[in-house]
Amino acid sequence: MPEEILPGLYRIEVPLPDSPLKTLNSYIITGPDRNLIIDTGFNRDECHEVMLEGLGSLKIDLNRTDFFITHLHADHFGLVDRLKTDSSTIFFNRPDAEILDGWDGFDHMFSYAASNGFPEIELRNAFESHPGKRFGTTWIPELKILEDGDILEVGGYKLTCVETPGHTLGHTCLYEAEKKLFFSGDHILGDITPNIQGWSDQQDMLRHYLKSLEKVYSYEVDLVLPGHRSLFPGFKERINELTDHHQKRLDEILLILDLGPRHAYGIASEMKWDIKCDSWEQFPVPQKWFATGEAIAHLRYLEESHQIARDENAAETTYSLVS
């Protein structure tokens, strides 16, 4: 059953089977003319059934309902295809929309991962069951692009769009200043750390993320409504914790590189991860993927800060400390 957070504001916990995230928080704001759903879940029957049951209990008319999707990932975007109607507006951000428009598959990620030491065959095999491939949207809907500072008004809530690149290039949060609410998507999570990955040399995703944390730090927020797990207070305290976490990660990588050059996959294997495995070999391949992507994001940040240098003369790119 939906949880009422404030009058006209509800949360449906959508199951994410086989995902360590367990559930997605879909938020529903009801209004006299239009309703708004913030994030949707995977494009799979288990998610669809729970959403329909929850929306039905709230007597939500999907013909009078619009959607705001915080970012491109399948657990947030995937189900919108099955929930929207011909009268729905789907609000989205431009950078992630451009990725959708130009999507040509995962091959470039496989090649990039291989150049950073990841066994490519192992990765390709694992991606056959990747949720982004299996449970993403089957159709690219017409999207209404919102920019930083744009406002959505629904049901007595005035929501300001806040561009927060990092988790994805176009990730966008919603801020309700009067009620001091912050719909954080995957930008700020309470008891888990948002995954910041780098699978391209074109963007410094960790630098984007840290700047996005700094951007919202001054906001007056009483309650954070994240994309996963529990709602929580302590907005500024959590930002401080996340900033400290990434600084410790950067320091950890520098200590590893002090022992000699490494490729990103090797560095990830030596980092400490909160996963119940006795060795790197026991990590599920998807977790190795997340870990290596996070290592690359931190390496890119250190490289742009001129603390490390890369060597691309061999088949696999390695990194070393700057003398």
pLDDT value of residue 133: 55
| Structural domains in the chain (count) | 1
Question: pLDDT for 153-180, tens place per residue?
Answer: 999 999 999 999 999 999 999 999 999 9
Instruction: Print the SS3 string covering the chain.
Output: CCEEEECCEEEEEEECCCCCCCEEEEEEECCCCCEEEECCCCCCHHHHHHHHHHHHHCCCCHHHEEEECCCCCHHHHCCHHHHCCCCCCEEEEHHHHHHHHCCCCCHHHHHHHHHCCCCHHHHHHHHCCCHHHHCCCCCCCCCEEECCCCEEEECCEEEEEEECCCCCCCCEEEEECCCCEEEEECCCCCCCCCCCCCCCCCCCHHHHHHHHHHHHCCCCCCEEEECCCCCECCHHHHHHHHHHHHHHHHHHHHHHHCCCCECHHHHHHHCCCCCCCCCHHHCCHHHHHHHHHHHHHHHHHHHHCCCEEEECCCCCCEEEECC
In which band, very low, low, confident or very high, does the pLDDT at 271 lie, cut at 50, 70 and 90?
very high
Q: What percent of the chain has pLDDT over 70?
A: 96
- Domain with 167 in it: what CATH number? 3.60.15.10
Residue 52 reports pLDDT greater than 60: yes
- What does DSSP say about strands 151-154 and 157-163: parallel, antiparallel, or unpaired? antiparallel
- Residue 74 is part of which domain span? 3-321
In which band, very low, low, confident or very high, does the pLDDT at 205 lie, cut at 50, 70 and 90?
very high
Question: pLDDT for 287-299, tens place per residue?
Answer: 999 999 999 999 9
Report how far apart the first and last C-alpha atoms of the chain are (Å, whole number): 59
Average confidence score pLDDT of the chain = 94
pLDDT value of residue 91: 98
Higher pLDDT among residues 320 and 128, named by residue:
320
Residue 129 reports pLDDT greater than 70: no
This prediction has a pTM of 0.95
Residue 214 reports pLDDT greater than 90: yes
